Chains A and B, each alone.
Chain A
Amino acid sequence: MPYIPTTPEETRRMLSVIGVEKIEDLFADIPEEIRLKRPMDLPKPMSEAEVKRHMEELANKNKVLINFIGAGAYERLIPTIVPYILSRWEIYSAYTPYQPEVSQGTLQMIFEFQSLMCELTGMEVATASHYDGATAAAEAALMSCADTRKHKVLVSRAVHPQYRDVIRTYATGQRIEIVEIPIKDGRTDLAELEKLLAAKDVAGVILQNPNFLGQIESMAEAVQLAHKAGALGIAVFDPISLGVLAPPGEYDADIAVGEGQSLGLPLSYGGPYLGIVTSKERLVRRLPGRLIGATRDVDGKRGFVMTLATREQHIRREKATSNICTNEALCATAATIYLAALGKEGLKEVARQCVLKSHYAYEKLTSIPGVTPVFTGPFFCEFALKTDKLTPKEGYKGLADKGFAAALDLTPYYPEYEGAMLFAVTEARTKAEIDALAAAMGGLLA
């Protein structure tokens, strides 16, 4: 029997030790009226070889496109050692480290992850991980309300639309008011932010940098405005951008969250990804989910344990800071291996190549007659364009037909920027691919 080693003879022995005749006797307490009296209506079993072929056939129904789309998920060069190390089952098939004496591998890797997140962001504490960037941002919003005892959170309209959706979903249950900060020329309008803060009834202010439209925000000013009004400054960051951009710790953010997919995780059609949650030390007891701490064993040897668990659901139940239990530990481990492999110089190089390649693509594309930029401010690796001829739908489809995933239609999210298409270029793209994209775009407009 697949995945069940027990033989018929062993089954009989076990039943006799239990003192029943047959397996069905073990289910005697299930009322007759709710028993399923037919086999489940599912496809019949396959051998492993058939599963393999079937999965390959399914996978082949996807089309491989050259990727120029970002929007919160980025194709990157992933060092071969990342998936290789992760495929060690001592790493992927372990449970949550409930017994630290036989889980030091996992515990130390997550302690290293927390440490690397602090080094990268300049923040004082980081958690063991969260589901994804959006849920991390929602938790940050809830944290700011718990900390300030206020019930209003301001979220820039330039924050990823799906993040805003998730924040709103969580806020609905908690009766937290979410107010959008308007944008101007693709960046958060700080004059409007100041007005929204005037009543001093705001718990937290959430900005993303670089924002969803690719533009670089004035984070330091925004955080200062928040602090002046007694609100927490919350940053949503892209970890790769921190190779060159000022980290949240430098501009005095109270909470900084991000999507860690870029740190060695495959795109995998949207998940599993990695929520990063960091904060100032002062907020440590309000953090959601697991934290790993260092300590000593009875012999004085250094070791690691899950700690400050009195914040968590298994101890505090309905009074816990969050309901999270299972997190994204393996994804955090991937990020740890990725950053260990890249190191100080490597990360900087990735960030620089993103900047250079995206700017090269921007120059190439905007030099096509009829293509114009939507925003003019500085950007990191993502930018919006429009054309005098193509609707975004036509651009998105036309480029897909030519083998490119590109020109994401911004209209559903930003009707005010009708016609805008979003492009992203990472270090994974080559000059030749960028030139080919530009040629394809030129072809569509010719």
Chain B
Amino acid sequence: MIRLRDYEPLLNELSVPGRRGYYLPECDVPGKAEDYLPSEALRKEDAPLPELSEVDVVRHFSRLSDLNYCIETGIYPLGSCTMKYNPKINEYAASLPEFANLHPMVPVSAAQGALELMYKLQKYLAEITGMDAVTLQPAAGAHGEYTGLAIIAAYHRSRGDHDRVEVLVPDSAHGTNPASAAVAGLKVIEIPSDSRGLVDLEGLKAALGPRTAALMLTNPNTLGLFESDIVEIARLVHEAGGLLYYDGANLNGTMGVCRPGDMGFDVVHLNLHKTFSTPHGGGGPGSGPVGVKKHLEPFLPVPVVALSESGEYYLDYDRPQSIGRVRTFYGNFGVCVKAYAYIRRLGPEGLKRVCEYAVLHANYIWARLREHYRFRYDRICKHECVAMPTKEMMDNDVHTKDIAKRLMDYGYHAPTIYFPLIVPEALMIEPTETETLQELDGFCDALIAIKKEALENPQVVKDAPHNTPVRRLDDVAAAKNPILNWRKLGNL
């Protein structure tokens, strides 16, 4: 690959004393700031920040951005991450100055547009998930999980059910599920998957009991398979006195076709940065709204956006059973604006079509690859499929990591790898509805070509990537002697 510059110094290495990239207006009031502050409160030396001109800064970040793969470069088939195209109209909407410059503490009368948007988005998300009430406060999926579990814990406590502290989590679950349960102060009980890749009903029954607070389930699960026993699962959990938590990471696989609320779930979190097309920003911000059924509504975090009888939107703090706040203000509003614009653009049929084509594209990949790669669960999937290298590839010492790295030489981002944990050497592929047939074919052709290489010339795969700005990096050294800021670089 031809790349004009594939190395960019750090900001501190570019710094030249005396340069500035931004000039404030001249201060139009008199005085010397230091005179107003006690000397012991002042910093002894200036913060040693780099000094760059405006052009330096623009070029630096332009060059760095050239080193990134992104969804606007091509397919980004990370399983369970739902990397779909980010519509530009959404970005336009969120950047409107009346939204972008709105202070969160202005009187509600000055924020009616923002509150109307939030109120309606709450309603739309409730309808999409089959829930009764929604909070937009959580900042990301895991934050939503924590919020949902805190609601469940508060519900059990309110009923005097103090022993219900166990959360059942399938062995195929996202890592955030058990971690969120732990933060909410609940105990994690792992339950097994059966030979179909679904929740093992006998294992579930054995784990249920008077200490069960909830079952957390992703449906479709992380194998891309629909938990078709869900009605029975819901009945068992509810009969045992527990609640059902829906991890909405994979909502793209069922949206408009069936709803968590109708499956029997009591709580759901969504990832607006997945299903609802908001950009992932290199790791965030996301937004993790939580929906609940009626009996859990009193426990939602404060404030809740509400509509008064006189038609004014307001922030309702009068909720004595609330779990409290989970963050400042009202959530990642800017992300909510984008999700709202997406829902209005697509409407009910459009959202269902999103799901249908996400599932069609995933099955197409499965169908094209199944002769070339192994599939432990070799059947129709939902929004993602999980492949494995064949025995012959492994015999040549070519593993999932090597395949992922070699894909980059072909110009494609890798799938999620080594997850779910119950599939060894997993390549978890989620194409989403926004990819073209040509892009899907190109991606499958690359994987098929890599298989051929693995059998005929494995070294080229094992040494990959060859064409990227950097090649394989030494993770072990990075963890052994962590260099976490530029002061620690030494001669690196």
Interface-central residue, B78, B146, B301, by most chain A CB under 10 Å:
B146
Tell me the nearest residue of chain B to A92, going by C-beta.
B279
B68 near A94 (CB under 8 angstroms)?
Answer: yes
Interface-central residue, B66, B68, B142, B345, by most chain A CB under 10 Å:
B68
> Given the complex, which residues of A lie within 8 Å of B326, measured CB to CB?
135, 166, 169
A128 within 8 A of B: yes
B34 within 8 A of A: yes
Shortest distance from the beta carbon of B213 to any chain A beta carbon, whole Å: 11
A79 near B469 (CB under 8 angstroms)?
Answer: no
B434 within 8 A of A: yes
Q: With the chains together, A5 CA to B271 CA distance in Å? A: 23
B41 near A378 (CB under 8 angstroms)?
Answer: yes
Q: With the chains together, A325 CA to B419 CA distance in Å? A: 15
A34 near B473 (CB under 8 angstroms)?
Answer: no
Q: With the chains together, A169 CA to B482 CA distance in Å? A: 33
> Given the complex, which residues of B lie within 8 Å of A149, measured CB to CB?
none
Shortest distance from the beta carbon of A252 to any chain B beta carbon, whole Å: 13
B68 near A103 (CB under 8 angstroms)?
Answer: yes
B470 near A272 (CB under 8 angstroms)?
Answer: no
Stretch of B204-212, B282-290, B451-459 contacting A (4+ beta carbons < 8 Å): B282-290
| Category for how many chain B residues contact A | 35 or more
B105 near A356 (CB under 8 angstroms)?
Answer: no
Instruction: Please report the number of residue pairs spanning A and B whose Cβ atoms sit closer than 8 angstroms.
Output: 702
B182 near A342 (CB under 8 angstroms)?
Answer: no
A73 near B484 (CB under 8 angstroms)?
Answer: no
B324 near A245 (CB under 8 angstroms)?
Answer: no
B89 within 8 A of A: yes
Stretch of A116-124, A195-203, A227-235, A438-446 contacting B (4+ beta carbons < 8 Å): A116-124
Q: With the chains together, A46 CA to B186 CA distance in Å? A: 44
Interface-central residue, B102, B181, B477, by most chain A CB under 10 Å:
B102
Which 9 A-B pairs have CB atoms at the shortest separation, nearest pair first? A270-B329, A330-B281, A45-B347, A61-B113, A329-B283, A173-B185, A270-B104, A272-B285, A313-B179
> Given the complex, which residues of A lie within 8 Å of B279, measured CB to CB?
89, 92-93, 330
A72 near B284 (CB under 8 angstroms)?
Answer: no
B478 near A295 (CB under 8 angstroms)?
Answer: yes
Interface-central residue, B139, B179, B332, B473, by most chain A CB under 10 Å:
B473
B283 near A290 (CB under 8 angstroms)?
Answer: yes
Q: With the chains together, A92 CA to B68 CA distance in Å? A: 10
Interface residue from A45, A168, A297 paired with B350 (Cβ < 8 Å): A45
**Chain B 374-390 residues near chain A, CB threshold 8 A:** 380, 382
A95 near B484 (CB under 8 angstroms)?
Answer: no
Interface residue from B41, B324, B361 paired with A165 (Cβ < 8 Å): B324
Shortest distance from the beta carbon of B372 to any chain A beta carbon, whole Å: 14
A52 within 8 A of B: yes
B4 within 8 A of A: no
Chain A count of residues within 8 A CB distance of the other chain: 205
Q: Would you list 22 pairs from A and B whose C-beta atoms are within 8 A, ordered by A residue?
A: A2-B350, A19-B367, A51-B344, A61-B116, A73-B104, A84-B58, A90-B70, A94-B71, A115-B487, A173-B149, A244-B34, A244-B43, A268-B334, A269-B334, A271-B328, A272-B284, A293-B484, A296-B474, A305-B475, A353-B27, A400-B106, A434-B29
Q: With the chains together, A77 CA to B23 CA distance in Å? A: 10
Q: With the chains together, A4 CA to B104 CA distance in Å? A: 36
B139 near A42 (CB under 8 angstroms)?
Answer: no
> Given the complex, which residues of A lie within 8 Å of B93, measured CB to CB?
51-52, 55, 59
A387 within 8 A of B: no
Stretch of B236-244, B251-259, B391-399 contacting A (4+ beta carbons < 8 Å): B251-259
Q: With the chains together, A62 CA to B363 CA distance in Å? A: 45
Q: With the chains together, A247 CA to B84 CA distance in Å? A: 41
> Given the complex, which residues of B lie within 8 Å of A310, measured CB to CB?
479
A328 near B284 (CB under 8 angstroms)?
Answer: yes
Q: With the chains together, A40 CA to B128 CA distance in Å? A: 7
**Chain B 464-489 residues near chain A, CB threshold 8 A:** 465, 468-475, 477-479, 482-489
Q: With the chains together, A344 CA to B22 CA distance in Å? A: 11
A282 within 8 A of B: no
B103 near A73 (CB under 8 angstroms)?
Answer: yes
A346 near B21 (CB under 8 angstroms)?
Answer: yes
Seed contacts A162-B328, A294-B478, A360-B30; 5 additional CB < 8 Å A-B pairs: A64-B97, A67-B103, A267-B101, A272-B139, A405-B103
Shortest distance from the beta carbon of B210 to any chain A beta carbon, whole Å: 20
> Given the complex, which residues of B lie within 8 Å of A183, measured CB to CB?
none
B184 within 8 A of A: yes
Q: With the chains together, A135 CA to B147 CA distance in Å? A: 12
> When each residue 35-72 of chain B gets 1 if its CB lies under 8 Å from chain A and 0 otherwise, what string results?
01110111110111111101001101110111111111
Contact A250 B44, CB 8 Å, known A51-B93, A317-B178 = yes
A59 near B113 (CB under 8 angstroms)?
Answer: yes
B333 near A295 (CB under 8 angstroms)?
Answer: no
Q: With the chains together, A349 CA to B271 CA distance in Å? A: 40
B280 near A14 (CB under 8 angstroms)?
Answer: no
> Given the complex, which residues of B lie within 8 Å of A55, measured CB to CB?
92-93, 96, 337, 341
Interface residue from A28, A134, A324, A330 paired with B282 (Cβ < 8 Å): A330
> Given the complex, which residues of A lie within 8 Å of B359, measured CB to CB?
23, 26-27
> Given the complex, which residues of B lie within 8 Å of A255, measured CB to CB?
none
> Given the complex, which residues of B lie within 8 Å of A344, measured CB to CB?
46-51
Interface residue from A6, A69, A132 paired with B328 (Cβ < 8 Å): A132
Interface-central residue, B11, B31, B279, B405, by most chain A CB under 10 Å:
B11
B226 within 8 A of A: yes
Shortest distance from the beta carbon of A237 to any chain B beta carbon, whole Å: 11
A27 near B413 (CB under 8 angstroms)?
Answer: no
Contact A91 B61, CB 8 Å, known A20-B380, A60-B113, A118-B487 = yes
> Given the complex, which residues of A lie within 8 Å of B446, measured CB to CB?
none
**Chain A 266-320 residues near chain B, CB threshold 8 A:** 266-273, 284, 290-299, 301-305, 307-310, 312-320
Q: With the chains together, A437 CA to B252 CA distance in Å? A: 50
> Given the complex, which residues of B lie within 8 Å of A326, measured CB to CB?
140-142, 271, 273, 280, 283-286, 288
B470 near A100 (CB under 8 angstroms)?
Answer: yes
B178 near A318 (CB under 8 angstroms)?
Answer: yes
B150 within 8 A of A: yes
A119 near B48 (CB under 8 angstroms)?
Answer: yes
A33 within 8 A of B: yes
Shortest distance from the beta carbon of A76 to any chain B beta carbon, whole Å: 10
Q: With the chains together, A2 CA to B100 CA distance in Å? A: 26
B47 near A242 (CB under 8 angstroms)?
Answer: yes
B36 near A303 (CB under 8 angstroms)?
Answer: no
